[in-house]
């Protein structure tokens, strides 16, 4: 992706989020220069990888395969392992109409995926086999807003605004906006996008950025390079 495209997506996403009455935290609007200047005092942001996240999964087709995310809070794996402290994370996301977030599962993370507004959120799901691979035949047991449900393998769950589903580490899933764009909330155990995403296809989690213009704000995937 070109940085100019990232900047455009970022600014448009901020407008969309505000249109639903959701406001991002102050650090969302730190400039790159400010983050560099304050890098010694913002470790709570950069170490937890809070902030802007725009991905085309390395495919170069963001409108078809991509996702906008902003991580507002995130604990540590050490706390999660010890069972105390900040064991949770929260994200706000935007899935555009028919824009696929590819089939994947997590090793550790349990998450609630919430339709915060817009169109319907479509989530296709499979279960894992004993090896952790996608099982094309097994039924999928999930909970939607406290109600237990069993889906057929590959069935697509449709979430209307206000509805949610709880996904465990073994639940394979891909999702998209059905009939329009969707504002998505995610509340989960600690999030680690560097190691905890297993994709069904051989793709990457982050985008390769072509620096054709200066960044408006840094992405979480920029932190290691820009703030080292």
Q: Which residues of the chain fall below pLDDT 50?
A: none
* Residue 228 pLDDT: 86
DSSP codes joined into one string, the chain? -BHHHHHHHHHHHHHHHHHTT----GGGG--HHHHHHTTTT-HHHHTTT-EEEEE-TTSS-TTTB-EEEEEEEE--HHHHHHT-S--EEEEEEEE-BT-BEEEEEESS--EEEEEEEEEEEEEEEEEE-TTSSEESSS-EEEEETTEEEEE-TTPEEEE-TT-EEEE-TT-EEEEEEEEEEEEEEEEEE---TTTSEEESSS--SSPPPB-SS--SS-BGGGHHHH--
Residue position matching structure tokens 């894992």: 128
> Can you read off the two tokens belonging to residue 124?
């296709």
Give residue-wise pLDDT tens across range 42-62.
999 999 999 999 999 999 999
Which pTM was predicted?
A: 0.96
CA dist., res. 139 & res. 125, Å (int): 9
pLDDT at position 136 is 97
Q: Do 128 and 170 meet the contact criterion of CB atoms below 8 Å apart?
A: yes
Please report the pLDDT score of residue 140 as a whole number: 98
CA pair distance 2, 102, nearest whole angstrom: 21
CB 214 within 8 A of CB 133: no
Domains and CATH numbers, the chain: 3-226 (2.60.120.10)
């Amino acid at each position: 992706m070109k940085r100019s495209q990232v900047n455009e997506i970022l600014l448009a996403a901020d407008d969309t989020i505000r249109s639903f009455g959701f406001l991002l935290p102050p650090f969302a609007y730190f400039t790159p220069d400010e983050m560099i200047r304050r890098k010694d005092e913002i470790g709570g942001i950069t170490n937890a990888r809070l902030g802007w996240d725009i991905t085309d999964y390395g495919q170069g087709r963001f409108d078809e395969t991509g996702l906008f995310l902003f991580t507002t809070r995130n604990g540590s794996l050490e706390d999660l392992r010890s069972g105390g402290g900040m064991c949770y994370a929260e994200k706000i996301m935007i899935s555009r109409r028919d824009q696929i977030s590819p089939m994947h599962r997590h090793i550790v993370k349990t998450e609630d995926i919430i339709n915060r507004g817009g169109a319907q959120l479509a989530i296709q799901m499979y279960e894992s086999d004993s090896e952790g691979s996608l099982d094309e035949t097994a039924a999928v047991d999930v909970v939607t807003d406290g109600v237990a449900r069993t889906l057929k393998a590959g069935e697509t769950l449709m979430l209307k605004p206000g509805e949610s589903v709880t996904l465990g580490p073994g639940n394979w899933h891909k999702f998209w906006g059905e009939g329009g764009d969707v504002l998505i909330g995610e509340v989960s155990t600690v999030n680690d996008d560097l190691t905890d995403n297993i994709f069904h296809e051989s793709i990457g989690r982050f985008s390769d950025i072509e620096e054709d213009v200066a960044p408006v704000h840094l992405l979480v995937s920029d932190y290691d390079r820009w703030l080292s």
